[in-house]
Amino acid sequence: MKFVVRGGKPLKGEVKLAGAKNAATKLLVASILSEEPSVLENFPIIGDTAITAGLCEELGSEILKDGNTVSIKTPVIKNTRVGLLTRRNRIPVLALGPLLARAGRAEVPVVGGDKIGARPVDIHLEALKKLGAEVTISGASYEAKAPEGLRGAEITFRFPSVGATENTLLASVLAKGKTVMRNAALEPEIMDLIKFLQKMGAIIELGANRTIYVEGVSRLRGAKHSILPDRNEAVSFACLAVVTGGDIFVKDAVQEHLITFLNTLRRIGGDYEVVNGGVRFWRAGKLTPTSIETDTHPGFMTDWQQPLAILLTQAEGVSKIHETVYEDRFSYTKDLNLMGADIIVTTECLGSLPCRFSGKFPHSATISGPTPLKGMKLEVPDLRAGMAHLTAALIAEGESEISGVEEIDRGYERIDERLRYLGADIKRIDD
């Protein structure tokens, strides 16, 4: 599947955010903790939720879809082995907790590195072991057992990993006794998971200094929940409004989820108005360069640097981005340079402090602008980089042909249709 895009049109109008990919997938898996039905509203119809729904069905879930509402129930765990097909995203490892809780055993595929880094799961496995699971690697799978059930434990994460925090939440809510998680991740999507688990009957408290307390309960029930709006989509549309010189009202965008981004956007020369029901974005004047450093929430999110980099190619002067979350998230800049950008990637830390990638990985970028971009043939490397390609194509002179758009479809609902509605010249072509 590919997109053919003709750049140069200002994008204007209103767009509604889909539910967050990185919450919807986790809530599907969380629903397996109960045999009762759960209902998820504002559910995004994207590639990653389809893959995760397939994973749940493999384990015994029955799923009904009605537009953006999904009902899921898992009366019986029919299978404790997650198949290799689900390796297309990072969700299989999160099935360990619910399977251990419901069936005392689990087997999930080893999810290897991908285009943005090695992405190990050592922090997840260490936490599960502390909760009493025996975990071994057998061929291409992790096998976990907890015949006596899991029990609460004190866990300190060496890094506030999103996935490891979610995995530990999923495993500890039905464990015997109390679990304390220190240095936990507190992303809005994790708060959404906590809200859903609380509705299901879990007892979870948030303490100071990134601490989460869980008091295990013996049983969870089904729950109804509306998934939070996708803040990554919000940032993508905001950058599109500013970089194309347009004006977009992003319906359902939540200021609280975007505070660091909004500050950065205003410094660069974008502007916004927070109103009831969303945020409107537009360009205030000429774009000025800046320096950003990605971080865990509430810092500047790693998934926001790619659309922002396109804005910075149009700013007058030199900008710097220091990526501190993933070691290899600048591969997309090679194509941008071929389109006419001036981006130099280095292993040095171009931020306030050295990070764990210093001298080892190409994790910082210097962007000099403004540089006009020219349309060309592009191949999408990964989801967020794909959105950067698409954004670049939408401001480039001439036509771009973007292949591998299934990666973009993994995370953005009907993106071509919504962009066309905002005035973009974009066509989807089946290969």
Query: How far apart, in Å, are the Cα atoms of 285 and each of 11, 269, 271, 282?
Result: 16, 6, 9, 9
Instruction: Establish if 230 lies at the interface with ligand EPU (CB under 6 A).
Output: no
| Window 381 to 420, contacts with ligand EPU (CB under 6 A) | 383-384, 411
Which residues inside 120-139 make contact with ligand EPU, applying CB under 6 A? 120-124
Task: Check binding of 90 to ligand EPU (CB under 6 A).
Answer: yes
The DSSP symbol for 227 reads: P
Does 368 participate in binding ligand EPU (rule CB under 6 A)? no
In the complex with ligand EPU, which residue's Cβ is closer, 88 or 124? 124
Q: How far is the CB of 388 from ligand EPU (least distance, A)?
A: 12
Contact code string over 102-121 relative to ligand EPU, x by CB under 6 A: ---------------x-xxx
- Decide whether 179 or 183 has the Cβ nearer to ligand EPU: 183
If one asks whether residue 163 binds ligand EPU (CB under 6 A), the answer comes out as: yes
CB of 52 to ligand EPU, least distance (A): 9
Query: Which region, judged by CB under 6 A, interacts with ligand EPU, from 133-141, 208-216, 255-263, 300-308?
Result: 300-308
Active site residue 122: no
Residue nearest to ligand EPU (CB): 163
Of 173-212, which residues contact ligand EPU (CB under 6 A)? 185, 187
Q: Which of 114, 271, 342, 425 is the catalytic position?
A: 114
Q: Which helix (H) or strand (E) holds 365?
A: strand 364-369
CB 217 within 8 A of CB 365: no
DSSP state of 169: H
Closest CA to 124 of 139, 147, 105, 144: 144
325 is in an annotated binding site: yes
Helices (H), 289-357: 305-313, 333-339
DSSP state of 176: B
- Helix intervals (H) in 201-340: 231-243, 259-268, 305-313, 333-339
Q: What share of the chain is helix, strand, coil (3-state, %, to 5)?
A: 35, 30, 40
Residue 180: CB atoms within 10 A of its CB come to: 17
Q: Name the binding residues for phosphoenolpyruvate.
A: 21-22
Residues contributing to the site for ligand EPU (CB under 6 A): 21-22, 90, 117, 119-124, 159, 161-164, 185, 187, 301-303, 325-326, 383-384, 411
